Amino acid sequence: MHHHEGSTGERRFTLPAIGGNPSSTRQGTSPGSFALRWQSGGSRSFSSPDTPGMPQPSEKTAWNFLPPDWTKVPGSEGTKWLAPKGFVPVTQLEYARLGEITPQMRRVAEREPHLTPEMVRDEVAAGRMVIPANKIHLGYRLDAMCIGRASRTKVNANMGASPIASSSQEEVEKLRWAERWGADTVMDLSTGGDLDATREAILRDATVPIGTVPIYSMIIGRKIEELDAQTVLDALAHQARQGVDYFTIHAGVLREHLPFVKRRLIGIVSRGGSILAKWMLVHQRQNLMYELWDEICELMRRYDVTFSIGDGLRPGGLGDATDEAQLRELATLGELTERAWRHGVQVMVEGPGHVPFDQIEYNMKLERRLCHGAPFYVLGPLVTDVFPGYDHITSCIGATAAAYHGASMLCYVTPKEHLGLPKKEDVKQGCIAYKIAAHAADVALGIPGARDRDDELTKARAALNWEKHFELSFDPDLARAYHDEDLDVDTDFCAMCGHDWCSVRISKEIAEFASGKAEAYAWDRPKVTAELSPEQREVLEKRGVLAPEEIHRLASKTKQQMNARAGVKAACHSDYVDADKAKHLQEGREA
Ligand code: SF4
């Protein structure tokens, strides 16, 4: 930020002339958005300005990778592509290429009002957006959504029974829980229990797209080295028929990449990647997923299963980030993207992992180049390795940067990452951390309307309207419980600063002074808020181990002390009560 001092001493600030106002009412300031202006239909839709030295976007899109039998027809409204005679479109990508708008594209635009169905179609046709919607799953309860940088940042929650813990019923409950806390897609990564029944149960229940890593089911009851082409194709066909919306397939880990893994601190941390690496070493052959790629594409096309091309060589620690193994694999992922597009299959690409903060932009922009803008779906990334138990936080910092610099979907990390199978509460914590990351990026990128709810909450906060404040919160129960644990009454201040120190209340007074109507607000002498009562201190000590209900119960002691009855506003609100009463209230607490 530059500023000049004028002769009168006043300062003028010049802000960069880019960015848009993400508030749809155009209220408030816009300098928060230093992102580029939205380039609808371009490779830089909602994008951060490139730090010097960053890879430029690819000049190609999915339009450059049509099936070889399609023909170009020049027309007055630009070039059109003609499919061969008798061609029946199946995938969203194929419909988009033919210029058709599907009900799913319409639904996506309805869910994201800054997009029109035509924009959705054009982004899908360019390969920059996917609508993961298996034909079978659409017959159940799936509500179509999209993933792509022209749309809001999406969040994926992983779940799945491991051989040690969990059952299908528990997994369905976790699915509902993840949906409730805002997961946009869910991956069933079960490696134990009845895999087939769990997957089926999740698919029938889910309103969000479901992804899987099919190799997990392929090696159940069999040694890794026994994996063969028929097993792979059968398992994929089975899961496609069940209705899975996207498959993670680690076809990019090649034999020639493996020598680079030796230099790493932690080797291969992707389960699929490590299994396939072992298979290659045992058989002295190329990755069979890579060799079967065209057959896999054809099989997935039939049900419109979307690819989430796996990054089997993602770094598992900061020291391994952006290394030769990872980048070579990324180049292969670009090649696989092109081949899948030729088959009419929708593609997203998976990314790291553990990446120091300063390397995140490079990683995002390299993918944009090598994979021609195919949506990037990243896991975190964690920006430090020394906080096990808090990796929802270490990674949501990286995830915010990743989304700002180009990732379209963020795979959550829970506090249990690296340590154990996430339970319900961990799923919630992971979802919330990632909703924060996704939303923060959307605001920063200037997605129209992204900031509206923030502005509404700010207004409620300024008005000391607690009810509205809670209502607009992402987790109203928690916000209410935290408020009420110290002061379970509707006052024009809260327990954080107390009556006399409440800047928001004082600001309201200032506004009222300015309007010339509030002389009664003048104090004789400054007051200090009462000390905490023993009960309140007890509540604070227990904070963090108490459930919201328990906090409510303990907090009701405060309520009695404040002479307030349940559900009734305490008589201290400055909207209709003068300052003397507020002072009495406080003196009452001191007594
Ligand atoms: S007391 Fe402090 S934290 Fe609470 S409303 Fe007032 S300014 Fe905000």
* pLDDT tens digits along 277-300: 999 999 999 999 999 999 999 999
29-52 residue pLDDT tens:
776 567 888 877 889 889 999 999
Q: Positive or negative CA dihedral for 210, 94, 334, 147? A: negative
Cis-peptide into 353, omega within 30 deg: yes
The two structure tokens encoding residue 591 = 């007594």
Of residues 556 and 5, the one with the higher pLDDT is 556
Q: Which atom of ligand 1 is nearest to the CA of 503?
A: 7
* Residues listed for the chain: 591
Quick one: average pLDDT of 191-218?
Answer: 94
Q: What is the mean pLDDT of the segment spanning 296-317? A: 97
The CA 257 to ligand 1 mean position distance, Å, reads: 56
Task: Give residue 202's pLDDT band: very low, low, confident or very high (50, 70, 90).
Answer: very high
Distance of CA 395 to the CA centre of its chain: 11
Distance CA 407, CA 303 (A): 26
The larger pLDDT score, comparing residue 558 to residue 150, is at 150
What's the 580 CA to ligand 1 centre distance in angstroms? 19
**Predicted confidence band at 590 (pLDDT cuts at 50, 70, 90)?**
very low
| pLDDT band of 526, cuts 50, 70, 90 | very low
**Torsions phi, psi of 377, nearest 5?**
-120, 105
Evaluate if residue 522 carries a pLDDT over 60: no
Ligand 1 atom with the smallest distance to the CA of 498 is: 1
Ligand 1: which of 494, 574, 585 to mutate, most ligand atoms within 8 Å of CB? Answer: 494
pLDDT digits (tens, 9 = 90+) for 90-123: 999 999 999 999 999 999 999 999 999 999 999 9
Among the residue ranges 185-189, 311-315, 354-358, 555-559, the one predicted with the least confidence is 555-559
Q: List, in order, residues 6 or more apart from 307 with CB less than 8 Å away.
A: 246, 247, 249, 300, 336, 337, 340, 345, 346, 347, 348
Residue 548's pLDDT band (boundaries 50, 70, 90)? low
Highest mean pLDDT out of 70-74, 278-282, 549-553: 278-282
**Mean of the pLDDT values across residues 127-152?**
98
**Residue 95: HSE in the Cβ half-sphere, 13 Å Cα cutoff:** 18
Alpha carbons 40 and 527: distance in angstroms, whole number: 56
Residue 390 confidence (pLDDT) above 80? yes
pLDDT band at 504 (very low <50, low <70, confident <90, very high): confident
pLDDT of 554 above 90: no
Instruction: For residues 413-428, give the mean pLDDT.
Output: 91
Atom number of ligand 1 nearest to Cα 464: 5
Distance from the CA of 492 to the center of ligand 1, in angstroms? 8
**In degrees to the nearest 10, what's the CA dihedral of 279, 280, 285, 290?**
90
494 ligand 1 Cβ < 6 A? yes
User: What six digits make up the tokens of 230?
Assistant: 């028929």
Please tell me the residue having the least CA distance from ligand 1 atom 3. 496
Ligand 1 site, residue 496, Cβ cutoff 6 A: yes
Mutate which of 467, 491, 503 for ligand 1 pocket (most atoms within 8 A of beta carbon): 503
Position in ligand 1 atom list of the atom nearest CA 494: 4
Give the 3-state DSSP-derived string for 532-546, with helices as H, strands as E and coil as C.
CCHHHHHHHHHCCCC
CA 396 and chain centroid, separation: 9
* Residue 482, ligand 1, Cβ within 6 A: no
Half-sphere exposure of 86 (CA within 13 A, CB side): 1
- Give the bridge partners for 3, in sequence order: 13
Query: Which 3 state secondary structure label does DSSP give 388?
Result: coil
Bridge partners of 348? Answer: 308
* Percentage above 70 pLDDT, the chain: 83
Element holding 428 (H helix, E strand): helix 424-445
- pLDDT score recorded for residue 589: 45
Q: How far apart are the first and last CA of the chain?
A: 51
380 CA to centre of ligand 1 in angstroms? 33
In short, whether 504's Cβ falls inside 6 Å of ligand 1 is yes
Work out the angle between the directed axes of helices 503-514 and 452-462 (0-180°, nearest 10): 80
Q: Report the C-alpha dihedral over residues 547, 548, 549, 553, rounded to 10 degrees.
A: 100
Asked if residue 90 has its Cβ within 6 Å of ligand 1, the reply is no
Whole-angstrom Cα distance, residue 90 to residue 345? Answer: 9
* Predicted confidence (pLDDT) at residue 17 exceeds the cutoff of 90: no
Q: How far apart are CA 223 and CA 213, in angstroms?
A: 17
- Provide the residue type at 368 as one letter: R
Amino acid at position 248, single letter: T
Ligand 1 mean position, distance from CA 461 (Å) = 9
Beta strands in 151-277 (DSSP E): 154-159, 185-188, 210-212, 246-249
Rounded Cα distance between 410 and 413, Å, is: 9
Which pLDDT belongs to residue 518? 47
State the DSSP code for 316: S
Q: Which residues contact 153 (CB under 8 A, 6 or more apart)?
A: 403, 407, 408, 409, 410, 437, 438, 439, 441, 442
Q: Which of 16-20, 430-434, 463-467 has the lowest mean pLDDT?
A: 16-20
Ligand 1 closest atom vs CA 499:
1
pLDDT at 376 over 70: yes
The answer, yes or no, to whether any atom of ligand 1 lies below 6 A from the CB of 393, is: no
Interaxial angle between packed helices 195-205 and 229-242, expressed in degrees from 0 to 180 and rounded to the nearest 10? 30
Q: Out of 52-56, 144-148, 478-482, 571-575, which region has the weakest mean confidence (pLDDT)?
A: 571-575
Q: What is the pLDDT of residue 583?
A: 55
Place of tokens 């004789």: 524
Q: What is the mean pLDDT of the chain?
A: 87
- Given the candidates 3.20.20.540, 1.20.140.10, 3.40.50.720, 3.30.70.141, the CATH classification of the domain at 62-445 is 3.20.20.540
Which pLDDT band, with edges at 50, 70 and 90, does 528 fall under?
A: very low
Distance CA 328, CA 535 (A): 61
The overall longest dimension of the chain from CA atoms, in Å, is 89
Neighbours of 356 (CB within 10 A): 16
- Helices marked H in 40-156 — which ranges? 92-97, 103-111, 117-126, 135-138
* Pocket mutation for ligand 1, best pick of 470, 492, 502, 527 (most atoms within 8 Å of C-beta): 502
Phi and psi of 54, rounded to 5°?
-75, 145
CA of residue 504 to ligand 1 center, whole Å: 6
- Which residue's CA is the nearest one to ligand 1's atom 4? 494
Find the 497 Cα to ligand 1 centroid distance in Å: 5
Over pLDDT 90: what percentage of the chain? 65
- Is residue 495 in contact with ligand 1, taking CB distance under 6 Å? no
**Ligand 1 pocket check: which of 496, 509, 574 to mutate, most ligand atoms within 8 Å of Cβ?**
496
Q: Is the CB of 497 under 6 A from ligand 1?
A: yes
Question: Is the Cβ–Cβ distance between 469 and 463 less than 8 Å?
Answer: no
Q: Is 503 in the pocket of ligand 1 (CB under 6 A)?
A: yes
Closest residue CA from atom 7 of ligand 1: 502
Rounded to whole angstroms, the Cα distance separating 215 from 236 reads 9
Q: Please choose, from the candidates 173, 213, 161, 155, the residue with its C-alpha nearest in 3D space to the C-alpha of residue 412.
A: 155
Residues 93 and 346 sit within 8 Å (Cβ to Cβ):
yes
Whether ligand 1 lies within 6 angstroms of the CB of 506 is answered as no
For ligand 1, atom 6: residue with the closest CA? 502
Q: Rounded distance, CA 400 to CA 336, Å?
A: 27
**C-alpha–C-alpha distance, residues 494 and 110, integer Å:** 39
375, 349 Cβ separation under 8 angstroms: yes
Amino acid sitting at position 441: A
The predicted model gives 264-279 an average pLDDT of: 95
Report the pLDDT value the prediction gives residue 527, as an integer from 0 to 100: 42
**Nearest-5° Cα angle at 70, 66 to 75:** 100
What's the rounded mean pLDDT across residues 13-20? 69
Q: Pick the most confident of 186-190, 500-504, 521-525.
A: 186-190
In the chain, CATH 3.20.20.540 covers 62-445
Is 508 near ligand 1, meaning CB less than 6 Å away?
no
Q: Please choose from 482, 490, 497 the residue to mutate so as to test ligand 1's pocket, defined by most ligand atoms within 8 A of CB.
A: 497
For residue 68 the two structure tokens come to: 């070889």
